[in-house]
């Protein structure tokens, strides 16, 4: 009796295993078999449609072997057939076109050009004209800062004269200061001829071929800020 029941159980197990194996095989075949390309045909005809970041066309007007074929424009020079026309890809992200010339143009001729090197222009100012450096001034003039005028071109021999003519300038003599009270109002970096013209904490010092108000603690600093 036990042998008969065991045989029945073995046969039942074989039937169940065979059923599941057959079911798995059928499912695998259904999943691994891709549908024919023609099933993807749409109503777009040969119109470009978005395919991710690029554009595609689908040939739904071809023969049995080509109908449903999709062409995606991912590289310059690609070609594809849709209906009775041949299309080309001008470049990634661009639309398919029947104008084959835009795909045959050389990359150098279509995408870039040779631009001339710009010629620098130096503005030259005359007396009392604006400047950034002495290179902006006419020959013989220098670029200085004058309070009320800003940076202007002046004659270095008489830089306080706005007409740059030294013939009408009378040198002014200053008494030797005994005290630094009641000093001038010229600020750091402004031209001077005496320390009396500078603010009380500044002195008129020689800087190159000019004299400027500077801090005696750091005469090389054009901001008069002394860093310890």
- DSSP for 108-153, written as a single string: HHHH----PPPPP----B-TT-B-SSGGGBPTT-EEEEETTTEEEE
Q: Which residues contact 203 (CB under 8 A, 6 or more apart)?
A: 195, 213, 214, 215, 216, 219
> Is pLDDT of 147 > 50?
yes
Q: Report residue 52 as tokens.
A: 């991710």
Given a cut of 80, whether residue 174 has pLDDT beyond it is no
Q: b/e map of 39-60 (b: 16 or more CB within 10 Å)?
A: eebeeeebebeeeeebbbbbbb
Average pLDDT of the chain is: 76
Residue 70 pLDDT > 70:
yes
Highest mean pLDDT among 33-42, 118-127, 150-159: 150-159
For residues 58-75, give the mean pLDDT: 77
Report whether pLDDT(208) > 50. yes
**Residue 38: per-residue pLDDT:** 57
Per-residue pLDDT at 48 exceeds 70: yes
Q: Which phi and psi angles does 41 have, rounded to 5°?
A: -60, 145
What mean pLDDT comes out for the span 151-157?
A: 86
Q: What is the pLDDT of residues 3-36, one digit of tens each?
A: 667 777 788 888 888 888 887 777 666 655 545 5
Whether residue 204 contacts residue 197, with contact meaning beta carbons closer than 8 Å, is answered with yes
Nearest alpha-carbon partner for 90 in 108, 106, 78: 78
Task: Residue 178: count other Cβ atoms within 10 Å of its Cβ.
Answer: 6
Confidence tier at 114 by pLDDT (50, 70, 90): low
Give domain limits for the chain. Answer: 37-111
Q: Is the pLDDT of residue 173 over 80?
A: no
Percent of the chain residues topping a pLDDT of 70 = 72
Instruction: Identify the pLDDT of residue 89.
Output: 92
User: Residue holding tokens 């220098």?
Assistant: 142
Higher per-residue pLDDT: 121 or 179: 121
Q: How confident is the model at residue 73 (pLDDT cuts 50, 70, 90)?
A: very high
Taking residues 106-114, report their average pLDDT.
Answer: 52
- Give the C-alpha separation, 148 to 203, whole Å: 21
- As a whole number, mean pLDDT of residues 70-98 equals 87
- Answer with the residue of higher pLDDT: 177 or 75: 75
Q: Among 12-21, 95-104, 168-177, where is mean pLDDT lowest? A: 168-177
Relative to beta strand 203-207, strand 150-154 is unpaired
Judge contact between 46 and 83, C-beta under 8 A.
yes
Structure-block tokens of residue 227:
């860093």
């Amino acid at each position: 009796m036990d042998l008969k029941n065991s045989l029945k159980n073995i046969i039942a197990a074989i039937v169940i295993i065979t059923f599941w194996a057959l079911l798995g095989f059928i499912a695998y075949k259904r999943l691994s078999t891709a549908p024919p390309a023609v099933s993807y045909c749409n109503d777009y005809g040969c119109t470009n449609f978005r395919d991710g970041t690029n554009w595609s066309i689908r040939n739904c007007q071809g023969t049995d072997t080509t109908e449903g074929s999709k062409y995606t424009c991912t590289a310059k020079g690609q070609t594809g057939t849709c209906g009775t026309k041949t299309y080309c890809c001008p470049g990634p992200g661009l639309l398919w076109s029947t104008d084959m010339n835009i795909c045959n143009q050389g990359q150098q001729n279509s995408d870039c050009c040779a631009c001339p090197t710009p010629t620098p222009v130096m503005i030259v100012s005359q007396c009392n004209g604006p400047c950034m450096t002495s290179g902006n001034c006419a020959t013989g003039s220098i670029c200085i800062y004058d309070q009320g005028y800003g940076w202007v071109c002046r004659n270095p021999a008489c830089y306080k004269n706005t007409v740059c003519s030294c013939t009408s300038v009378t040198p002014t003599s200053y008494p030797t200061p005994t005290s630094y009270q009641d000093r001038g109002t010229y600020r750091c970096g402004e031209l001077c001829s005496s320390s009396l013209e500078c603010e009380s904490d500044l002195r008129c010092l020689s800087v190159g071929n000019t004299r400027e108000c500077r801090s005696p603690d750091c005469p090389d600093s054009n901001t008069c800020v002394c860093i310890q």
